[in-house]
Chains A and B, each alone.
Chain A
Amino acid sequence: MSVRHTAPSGKERLVGRVFHAACTVAALFGCLVLAVLLAAIVWQAWGWLNWEFLTRFDSRRPDQAGVKAALWGSFWVLTFTAIVAVPLSIGAAIYLEEYARKSRLTTFLQLNVNNLAGVPSIVFGILGLTAFVRMFGIFGNEPETVAIPLGLCTLKLQLPFGRSVLAGALTLALLIMPILIVATQEALRAVPAGVRHAALALGASKWQTIRYQVLPAAAPGILTGVILALSRAVGETAPLLMIGALSYVAFTPGGIERLADLLSLQKLAGVPFSPFTVLPIQIFNWALRPQREYHHLAAAAIVVLLVFLLLMNAAAIYLRYRFRRRLTGR
């Protein structure tokens, strides 16, 4: 580019304005699509979404169908996913950020996490199908149940895991781990080095520094990452289809249908190995059918799913806001 001494010509101004307009349109395109998508779905769900829809099982008659089984299924899969994925991911992130020295192994671990985040979810589904549902066929092809008495209740362990809540949750846990690790690493990195130095200078050991100073400071950031990763898990469909979440389910996992049932250990023990369906799969099944009524049901189920996701996202955004204020002290 050479030095110029004249003001931009009319043509140049026009080019500038057209480019600015194109960028503006592109940026607003996302908002527009979001608005149209939400409007179209709410419009199609109108009149189909009511309290009965939430409290009824799926039915062969569209006007009698509901999402009760899918809601409980999503709840349980999400719970078990969180139990498995959250501690493992936070542990991995702490290792990578706080312990690992700059070495080939560390670089490899980090690259591996980054690349795993880009693996298509359906490939995780295939892994889950082979490793958890079938367990490589080591235990035969049909799940066999072993009853383990635990005093207060009997855990019915099933090997291989079969098409169960546990197999689905483990698959989703592997899927969200890379996302969660990266988010936790960012939260840990945002904690000022001075915090660590101060704790170490007071004679704290490395783990004490992390446990009592770094982790509490990073907690809101980590929690944001957890919520975002779990909201990804709630919407995942393909891997659960692969591991064989059922399409027509008229029961809830473990037979737990009311909050009071959560107190029954016997029922709780039945949850991990129960067959299940989840909201996105229910949506997929209804959307695949040619009849219009089922499309309305799918739209209503989407509204339920989106409301849930929006609540999770709002919580994450609020936490991030709080987190920023705490770290900058403003």
Chain B
Amino acid sequence: MAEDAEQRDRNEPAVAPPHQVAGSRFGERVIQWLLFGCAAVSVITTMAIVLVLITESARFFRQVGFAEFFLDTKWTPQFAEKHFGIWPLLAGTFLVTAIAAIVGLPTGLLAAIFMSEYAGPRLRGLLKPTLEVLAGIPTVVYGYFALTFITPYVLKPLFERLLGVHVEVYNALAAGIVVGIMVIPMVASISEDILHSVPNSLREAGYALGATRVTVVLRVVLPAALSGVLASFILAIARAIGETMAVTLAAGLNPRLTLNPLRSVETMTAYIVNVSLGDTPLGSIEYYSIYAVAIVLFAITLASNVAANLILARYREVYQ
């Protein structure tokens, strides 16, 4: 870089001659405002999301009412007798998210510990890109993998042949497993950054006291990094709650209040997709119900993200 700049200086002045500078005060200010406009687009996006969700779901709540939405335990928009109780969708989302958390969070954290505390630079240089590739695979591919591989070739033999329990073609377990796999890179990379930023003096102090490596990791490094690790967990869970394609493909479209992971369920996201797949007439109550579900989804994920980002910001202040 330094060389480049030098070379450019010798050949031709990279900076415009003074006569161009003089008249450009106004232009400078225009550019600054233009750039501010670009930054404002993201705020406008957020405001538009909130506005759209509130105004359109208001049309839904005018007809259904908060009491039914939050207290009824049936979700049957397609039936003659329509019920709009969000609990089955919440239960489906919770079930898939819980399985994903059980699979993804410990694996991601242990992988982060391995990369930060055990692996040499070369191994880490290999593992990080692999995790990035894993993170870059589209979610619809994970859904396909769950539906056509995990369910028929892993879950069916395991549960039906060995344990004699019926596994439905669409089931929450397969969806939860792939969503768990999907959040591993996220947990691993954020936690690894956090663990890496724990000052070495803390580790050395631990070793000086005669502690073994595992003690240093579990009782010095991990407690020091706890808030950051927690933030990565919250982000991963928010991601799992908002995950759509894998869940739609693998968990099914069956709104059902169950905690049995081998049956098909419907998550909030899958319901939204389901309505947009069918030919729901514009302006019908079913159409507006997606906004009501989306506002719940948005509120949950936004709260998680804000919390996680606050924790991360505070953590960075302490150590960086």
Contact = CB atoms under 8 A, between A and B. Distances in A.
A91 interface: yes
Interface in B4-57: 4-5, 14-16, 18, 21, 24, 27-28, 31-32, 34-43, 45-46, 48-49, 52-53, 56
A94 B164 CA distance: 60
Nearest to A129: B276
A325 to B, nearest CB: 10
Contacts of B71: none
A174 B45 contact: yes
Interface stretch (A32-40, A64-72, A145-153, A261-269): A32-40
A91 B35 contact: yes
Interface string B225-262: 00000000001001101111100110000000000000
B205 to A, nearest CB: 9
A141 interface: yes
Given A15-B214, A33-B134, A120-B269, A113 B42 contact: yes
B133 A34 contact: yes
A129 to B, nearest CB: 8
Interface in A3-36: 3-6, 8, 12-13, 15-16, 19-20, 22-27, 29-31, 33-34, 36
A55 interface: no
Contacts of B15: 199, 202-204, 208, 212
Contacts of B45: 116, 127, 174, 177
Given A121-B244, A204-B16, A24 B114 contact: yes
A108 to B, nearest CB: 8
Interface residues of B, number: 108
B149 interface: yes
Given A15-B214, A284-B249, A329-B2, A23 B118 contact: yes
A213 B114 contact: no
B143 interface: yes
Which of A20, A25, A30, A192 has the most chain B CB within a 10 Å cutoff? Answer: A30
A306 interface: yes
A241 interface: yes
Interface residues of A, number: 110
Interface string A174-197: 100110010000000000100100
A26 B114 contact: yes
A313 B138 CA distance: 13
B130 A92 contact: no
B224 to A, nearest CB: 13
Contacts of B305: 114-115, 118-119
Contact of A30 (B111, B113, B306): B111
Interface in B81-118: 106-111, 113-115, 117-118
Contacts of B34: 91
Contacts of A235: 136-141
A256 interface: no
Contacts of B46: 112, 115-116
Contacts of A315: none
A238 B147 contact: no
Interface string A33-76: 11011001100100000000000000000000000000000000
Nearest to B52: A130
A89 interface: yes
A283 B144 contact: yes
Given A33-B134, A237-B139, A329-B1, A20 B214 contact: yes
B207 to A, nearest CB: 11
A114 B238 CA distance: 14
A40 B149 CA distance: 7
Contacts of A118: 235, 238-239, 242, 301-302, 304-305, 308
A203 B21 CA distance: 8
B137 A309 contact: yes
Interface stretch (B62-70, B155-163, B290-298): B290-298
Contacts of B139: 235, 237-238
A1 B214 CA distance: 13
Contacts of B276: 125, 129, 241-242, 244
B21 A295 contact: no
B210 interface: yes
B230 to A, nearest CB: 15
Which of B117, B308, B309 has the most chain A CB within a 10 Å cutoff? Answer: B309
Which of B16, B40, B138, B273 has the most chain A CB within a 10 Å cutoff? Answer: B138
Given A120-B301, A207-B27, A94 B35 contact: yes
A29 B192 CA distance: 16
Interface of A: 1-6, 8, 12-13, 15-16, 19-20, 22-27, 29-31, 33-34, 36-37, 40-41, 44, 87-92, 94-96, 99-100, 108-109, 111-116, 118-127, 129-131, 134, 141, 174, 177-178, 181, 192, 195, 198-199, 202-208, 212-213, 217, 228, 231-232, 234-238, 241-242, 244, 280, 283-284, 287-288, 295, 298-299, 302, 305-306, 309-310, 313, 317, 326-327, 329
5 contacts: A16-B213, A26-B106, A41-B145, A99-B36, A124-B49
Given A27-B188, A288-B249, 16 more contacts: A8-B212, A20-B214, A30-B134, A36-B149, A87-B38, A92-B39, A112-B42, A114-B305, A120-B242, A122-B273, A199-B15, A203-B21, A207-B31, A235-B141, A238-B244, A284-B249
